[in-house]
Amino acid sequence: MSILVLCETESGNPRKSAFELLGKAKALGLGTVTALVLGPADGASVAALGGYGADSVVHYNAAALGSHTTGAVVKALANAVAATGATIVLASATQISRDALPRLSARIGAGLAVECTDLRNDGGTLVGRRPIYAGKALVDVRVSSRVGLFTVRPNSFPVAASTGATAPVTTSDGGISDADIDVRVVQTLAPESKQVDLTEADRIVSGGRSLKSKEQFDAVIRPLAAAVHATPGASRAAVDAGYAHHGDQVGQTGKVVNPSLYIAMGISGAIQHLAGMRTSRVIVAVNKDADAPIFQYATYGIVGDLFEYAPLLQREFEKMLA
């Protein structure tokens, strides 16, 4: 058996999710681990994936892969599976994998388990655990096809420190050409914010409609998030009201997150929001309504006015994390 890990990059360097998956893949003990890097990337950082668990690295550096268009990514994945003989493919549950892996599944006839939050070796078979019914239950998934595809929510596994080892890198165009591009990207704009993306954030502070205005959202949620060294998030109600951008939205129609700490300020806990954050390890909720659904899932709950408790929490976190 062998495992192929799709290692996504940002600005030419592997993302945190790549280190997570490589470490877990190695720990599973299901054979050799090959890291797959698509598009332009820094050579030293690619080789350094060996320190996180990769036995070897395949780097498809075709220009057509620079914009991660669907046709090129799917063909690259299919070619990599064939070239490496991989029986398991792991990818982070991101926009890229959600788009590409279902198509890869159909193309090569492979079973697909999505949005896993845990993986384990059960007698030589990989078993994925994933939430269903908006997180109300967990199921174990086994793939019976020769090749099994698994996507994993970011932050599901810890990232171990690099051992400092490097892995041999095989670089080619992967058989990808401009003919494989189905969409032309004419411009890419980097986000102005330097904050960690919600999907990879280890700590998140989210605000709801109770903030009442964009000004109060910015004055309450963002300073509290800064004190916690967290990424700000928002409920759909807050986004619809214009308090925050859609990129800040957590929930079924926003981003699915899996942080170690999720602080919900003035969020009632509608099922759509819970579907996006219920797997958070620690949930802290502040709401005036003692019957708010969010308290059924909160690790710690405060029944009170967020405008009173947010400054108190901010001051305490600033003391703790200064």
DSSP alpha helices (H): ranges in 123-258? 214-228, 236-240
Residue 191 lies in a domain: no
> If we measure between CA atoms, which residue out of 1, 86, 73 comes closest to residue 37?
73
* Residue type at 282 in one-letter notation: V
126 and 8 assigned to the same domain: yes
Measured distance CA(289)–CA(14) in Å, rounded: 43
Residue 185 lies in a domain: no
- With 0.85 as the threshold, say if the pTM is over it: yes
| Total domains, the chain | 2
222 and 119 assigned to the same domain: no
Give residue-wise pLDDT tens across range 183-192. Answer: 878 887 777 7
Residue 193 lies in a domain: no
168 and 223 assigned to the same domain: no
29 and 145 assigned to the same domain: yes
Residue 192 lies in a domain: no
248 and 115 assigned to the same domain: no
215 and 75 assigned to the same domain: no
> If we measure between CA atoms, which residue out of 167, 144, 151 comes closest to residue 6?
151
Angle at 91 between CA 153 and CA 269, to 5 degrees: 15
154 and 274 assigned to the same domain: no
139 and 239 assigned to the same domain: no
77 and 217 assigned to the same domain: no
Give residue-wise pLDDT tens across range 279-300. Answer: 999 999 999 999 999 999 999 9
Give residue 170's pLDDT band: very low, low, confident or very high (50, 70, 90): very high
Residue 150 lies in a domain: yes
Residue 189 lies in a domain: no
What are the angstrom distances between the C-alpha of 84 and each of 107, 196, 235? 17, 33, 43
213 and 162 assigned to the same domain: no
Spell out the residues 6+ positions from residue 314 whose beta carbon is closer than 8 angstroms to its own: 223, 224, 227
How large is the average pLDDT for residues 214-229? Answer: 97
Q: To the nearest whole number, what is the mean pLDDT of the chain? A: 94
Residue pair 285/303 in contact by the 8 Å Cβ criterion? no
151 and 210 assigned to the same domain: no
- Of the candidates 123, 151, 180, which is a domain's last residue? 180
Measured distance CA(166)–CA(73) in Å, rounded: 25
Q: What is the pLDDT of residue 313?
A: 96
Q: What is the pLDDT of residue 117?
A: 96
Q: For residue 113, what are the domain limits?
A: 2-180
Q: What is the pLDDT of residue 53?
A: 97
Q: What is the pLDDT of residue 186?
A: 82
Residue 226 lies in a domain: yes
167 and 256 assigned to the same domain: no
Is residue 159 scored above 90 in pLDDT? yes
Residue pair 60/172 in contact by the 8 Å Cβ criterion? yes
Measured distance CA(29)–CA(22) in Å, rounded: 12
Q: What is the pLDDT of residue 258?
A: 94
Give residue 18's pLDDT band: very low, low, confident or very high (50, 70, 90): very high
Measured distance CA(45)–CA(56) in Å, rounded: 13
By CB atoms closer than 10 A (0-12, 13-18, 19+), residue 184 is: exposed
State residue 226 phi and psi, 5-degree precision.
-65, -40
Give the CA-trace dihedral at 242, 267, 134, 112, to 10 degrees: 50
Give percent above pLDDT 70 in the chain.
99
Residue 266 lies in a domain: yes
By CB atoms closer than 10 A (0-12, 13-18, 19+), residue 186 is: exposed
> If we measure between CA atoms, which residue out of 128, 188, 121, 115 comes closest to residue 155?
115
Give residue 110's pLDDT band: very low, low, confident or very high (50, 70, 90): very high
Q: Residue 57's domain is classified under what CATH number? A: 3.40.50.620
By CB atoms closer than 10 A (0-12, 13-18, 19+), residue 185 is: exposed
Give residue-wise pLDDT tens across range 234-287. Answer: 999 999 999 999 999 999 999 999 999 999 999 999 999 999 999 999 999 999
Q: Residue 226's domain is classified under what CATH number? A: 3.40.50.1220
- Of the candidates 180, 212, 235, which is a domain's last residue? 180
